[in-house]
Chains A and B, each alone.
Chain A
Amino acid sequence: MVWATPAAWAQTAFQGAAQVNASIKAPERAAQCVACHGGAGVSQIPSIPSLAAQPKTFIENQLVLIREGLRDVPAMKGSLDGVPDAELVALAVYFSAQPAPPPAKGRVDKASLERGRELAKSALCGTCHLPQHQGRDQVPRLASQQEQFLLDVMKEYRDKPGPGRDTVMAAALYGINDAQLKDLAHFFAHSR
């Protein structure tokens, strides 16, 4: 357990960042996840996020919040009922160790991408999500995430900051309009 062995933290460049590890086998329950989130956690569906290369703590926290109904994800309702903490941790360990999805393949809108890049810089996204937006600890990876999902989830943070959501993140999006969120999503989805 990471928290009980702090000395182990010093080994990675960024504490809590995801690291590819091919030796970690998929737990049985992962089959249920990949049905929607894609093989090895790389989503092929615009509204569904990739799990691959997300930080372990981030996945673990979200699984707990969704299990307990704090994050209301209609498509996942009931799917985690009664799943013990240890199984959620195993899922987090597995998906965190999978190679990151490739950047979005769709057409690049250069102007939008540049606006997104500038906004990400001025809004300080990279402070918590790290400069390459790869995420760490409880903070998700944004780079190469599904564009539609990024847009949906940022709107949710801004407009419906409910229980279980990070209040720092809600505050970070105060006053950012829909067009700007689109630019951000476009930029992150096309980031490596």
Chain B
Amino acid sequence: MPAEMANSTLAPLAGKLTVTPASEIPLNKLKLPPGFKIEIWSTGTPGVRAMSRGESGKIYAGTRGLGRVYEISDNGKERSSRILVDKLNQPAVTMHKGSLYVMAIDKVLRYDGIEANPNAQPVDMTAAFKLPPLQHHNWKYLSFGPDGKLYVPFGAPCNICEPGAEYAQIRRYNADGSGMEVIATGVRNTVGFDWHPVTKELWFSDHGRDWMGDDTPDDELNRMPKTGLNFGFPYCHASGVADRDIKKDKPCDGVTLPVTNMGPHAAVMGVTFYTGNMFPAEYKNTMFVARKGSWNRTKKLGFDVVTVTTDAEGKSAKVSPFLTGFKDDADNSFWGRPAYMLQMPDGSMLVSDEQLGAIYRISYAKP
């Protein structure tokens, strides 16, 4: 074991499980490019993560340790929320054809017609999905692809290890849990993906391993032009970094390297292609990536939302800051952790802050 690890006191940052009122959110510290504006859209949902919007405008969101699924309603002036279901093990959600799909580490539920019927009882689909039991990095992100299949990650059950056949992969299922396919391997811990609006290719973020030093390896942003690719874990990280502990000859042979590195320990989360008309034209089909921020690094990195643009082949990626101000370099502190984006019908964009249990709304008006 390297001495810097034995003597380190870096630890995962504490989540906050209690409500933070809007008056305690220092929104004026946030910075955006000219013309963009940010406001507090809703509060009172501790630990809020990925959001999914139903046809009627209700928004559903999962959490991690707190085990809750929230339903957020908007009357046009203000938002209210309720806990739809709780006591789950790190649940994620997604709306699909009027049904809410909820997946936790050990449970899958479907709420049919939930928007119109707040008392809808869930259909328990757990058995069909055959979920592997290990907890670590096995928390979920859920999304239906353009093919109508349900995509979900199964993270590595460790910081670094041979993950075994059931982990460190992305799978897709038919909506009823049948037809499971492992579509990508060597994926340590992705919790965010989206499909390119034009090419329909899947793009996903992936968290790199810890305890290899402040500056390596980087988190990844990957593109999946076809299924069956290997993205390198545990042998090959970032854009070709051999692992220090799990070694093999030519560790990066046959590995699909990332489109771009996203910063060491940055904690890349939600990935959202912007397809709306409110933001300036150059943002069309631009990818927004939330970086929740580092813990396994002496100087904090991330705590922001960045944009990523590439050429037509998905190469020459350029990563640019978009929403910043959640951390303060002067004293290495932070107050918020942006986690996921959700594009609204008017072209504005919601951003969830997992730390303060708040959702912000970003809009644009020509300056």
Which A residues have a C-beta under 8 Å from some C-beta of B? 1, 3-4, 6-7, 9-10, 14, 16, 57, 60-61, 64-65, 68-70, 85-86, 88-89, 121-122, 124, 126-128, 130-131, 136-139, 161-168, 170-171
| A–B complex contacts, Cβ < 8 Å, 29 sampled | A3-B20, A4-B335, A6-B328, A6-B333, A7-B331, A7-B333, A14-B9, A60-B18, A61-B15, A64-B18, A64-B46, A68-B68, A68-B87, A69-B86, A69-B87, A70-B65, A70-B66, A85-B19, A128-B9, A128-B11, A131-B9, A138-B12, A161-B135, A163-B67, A164-B67, A166-B65, A167-B90, A167-B137, A171-B135
Q: Work out how many contacts link A and B, with CB atoms closer than 8 A.
A: 115
Q: Is the CB of A70 within 8 A of B18?
A: no
Q: Is the CB of B11 within 8 A of A6?
A: no
B128 within 8 A of A: no
B184 within 8 A of A: no
Pick from A69, A131, A138, A163: contact of B15, CB below 8 A: A138
Q: Is the CB of B89 within 8 A of A162?
A: yes
Pick from B5, B17, B19: contact of A61, CB below 8 A: B17
Q: Is the CB of B10 within 8 A of A70?
A: no
Q: How far is the CA of A1 from the CA of B21 in the complex (A)?
A: 10
Q: Is the CB of B67 within 8 A of A68?
A: yes
Give min CB distance, A83 to chain B, whole Å: 11
Q: Is the CB of A127 within 8 A of B8?
A: yes
B182 within 8 A of A: no
Pick from B11, B24, B335: contact of A127, CB below 8 A: B11
Q: How far is the CA of A124 from the CA of B6 in the complex (A)?
A: 6
Q: How far is the CA of A121 from the CA of B5 in the complex (A)?
A: 11
Q: Is the CB of A6 within 8 A of B331?
A: yes
B13 within 8 A of A: yes
Q: Is the CB of A171 within 8 A of B67?
A: no
Complex contacts, B67 vs chain A, CB 8 Å? 68, 70, 163-164
Q: How far is the CA of A85 from the CA of B159 in the complex (A)?
A: 33
Q: Is the CB of A127 within 8 A of B10?
A: yes
Complex contacts, B356 vs chain A, CB 8 Å? 3
Interface of A, secondary structure class, is helix
Interface of B, secondary structure class, is loop
Complex contacts, A138 vs chain B, CB 8 Å? 12, 14-15
Q: Which residue of B lies closest to A69 (CB)?
A: B87
Which B residues have a C-beta under 8 Å from some C-beta of A? 1, 5-6, 8-20, 24-26, 46, 65-68, 86-90, 104, 135-139, 157-159, 328, 331, 333-335, 355-356
Complex contacts, B68 vs chain A, CB 8 Å? 68
Given contacts A64-B66, A70-B67, A164-B67, contact A9 B333 (CB under 8 A): yes
Give min CB distance, A26 to chain B, whole Å: 20
Give min CB distance, B335 to chain A, whole Å: 5
Query: Can you name 19 extra interface pairs (CB under 8 A) apart from A163-B67, A167-B90?
Result: A3-B24, A3-B355, A3-B356, A4-B20, A60-B18, A61-B15, A68-B68, A69-B87, A85-B18, A127-B5, A127-B11, A128-B11, A130-B9, A137-B13, A164-B67, A166-B12, A166-B65, A170-B136, A171-B157
Q: How far is the CA of A183 from the CA of B32 in the complex (A)?
A: 53
Given contacts A128-B12, A131-B9, contact A6 B17 (CB under 8 A): no
Q: How far is the CA of A85 from the CA of B21 in the complex (A)?
A: 11
Complex contacts, A128 vs chain B, CB 8 Å? 9, 11-12
Complex contacts, A68 vs chain B, CB 8 Å? 66-68, 86-87
Q: How far is the CA of A132 from the CA of B197 in the complex (A)?
A: 53
